[in-house]
C-alpha cells in the first residue's frame, strides 16, 4: 500500500474509470503487470515520456508568459526546466519538513536504507531552519 493524499486517490480513480472504457494495460515487465500509466498505444509510460510532457508544458507556459509579460511591460515569471525526479526530491524535502519520524519518511519514499533518504533526498531550506529555531526559541525559557 502506498499512502497518498486524497487528490491523488481521486486522480487514480478517474484513471481507473477511464481505463475501464479504453482498456487496461496488459504489458508485463519483470513479472509485474496491471500498470496504471500507459501510452496511447497501451504500453507502459517510460520516464522520458513523462519528462518530455513536463518539458512541453513548461515551454508552452513560458512562451505564453513571456508574451503576456511583454504586453504588460513587466518581467516574465518563468518556470525552470525540471523533471519528474525533481518532483520526487521536492516531495521528500517537504515530507522531511513536516514529519520527524524517519522510518515513516523512509517507507513512504520506498528506500531500503534510511541513509539514502537522508543523504540524497532530504534537503533543508533556509525558511525551515528559521522556523525550527523560532519554535525552539519559544520553548526555551531564560530566567
- Is the pLDDT assigned to residue 142 strictly greater than 70? no
Nearest of 45, 4, 37, 42 to residue 23 by alpha carbon = 42
Nearest of 113, 110, 120 to residue 89 by alpha carbon = 120
With cut-offs at 50, 70 and 90, classify the pLDDT of residue 136. Answer: confident
pLDDT score of 55? 97
Q: Is the model more confident about 124 or about 49?
A: 49
3-state DSSP assignment of residue 38: strand
Predicted TM-score (pTM) of this structure: 0.69
Q: Is the model more confident about 79 or about 47?
A: 79
Nearest of 64, 59, 58, 28 to residue 43 by alpha carbon = 28
pLDDT score of 134? 83
Please give the Cα distance from 59 to 55 (Å, whole number).
Answer: 6
Q: What does the chain come to in residues?
A: 143
Locate 113 and state its grid cell: 536504507
pLDDT over 70, % of the chain = 94
What Cα–Cα distance (Å) separates residue 16 from each residue in 20, 21, 50?
6, 9, 19
Q: Is the model more confident about 122 or about 133?
A: 133
DSSP state of 117: I
Q: Is the model more confident about 62 or about 143?
A: 62
DSSP state letters, 43-56: SBPPHHHHHHHHHH
pLDDT score of 101? 87
Give the angle subtended at the CA of 129 by the CAs of 101 and 138, to the nearest 5°: 85
Listed in sequence order, the residues at least 6 apart from 5 whose beta carbon sits closer than 8 Å to its beta carbon are none
Amino acid at each position: 500500500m502506498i499512502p497518498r493524499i486524497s487528490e491523488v486517490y481521486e486522480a487514480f480513480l478517474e484513471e481507473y474509470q477511464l481505463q475501464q472504457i479504453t482498456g487496461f494495460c496488459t504489458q508485463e515487465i519483470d513479472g509485474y503487470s496491471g500498470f496504471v500509466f500507459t501510452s496511447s498505444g497501451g504500453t507502459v509510460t517510460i520516464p522520458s515520456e513523462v519528462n518530455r510532457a513536463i518539458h512541453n508544458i513548461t515551454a508552452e507556459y513560458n512562451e505564453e508568459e513571456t508574451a503576456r509579460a511583454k504586453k504588460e511591460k513587466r518581467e516574465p515569471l518563468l518556470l525552470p526546466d525540471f523533471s519528474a525526479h525533481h518532483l520526487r526530491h521536492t516531495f521528500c524535502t517537504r515530507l522531511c519538513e513536516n514529519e520527524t519520524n524517519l522510518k515513516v519518511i523512509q517507507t513512504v519514499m520506498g528506500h531500503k536504507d534510511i541513509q539514502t533518504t537522508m543523504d540524497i533526498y532530504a534537503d533543508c531550506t533556509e525558511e525551515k531552519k528559521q522556523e525550527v529555531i523560532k519554535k525552539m526559541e519559544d520553548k526555551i525559557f531564560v530566567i
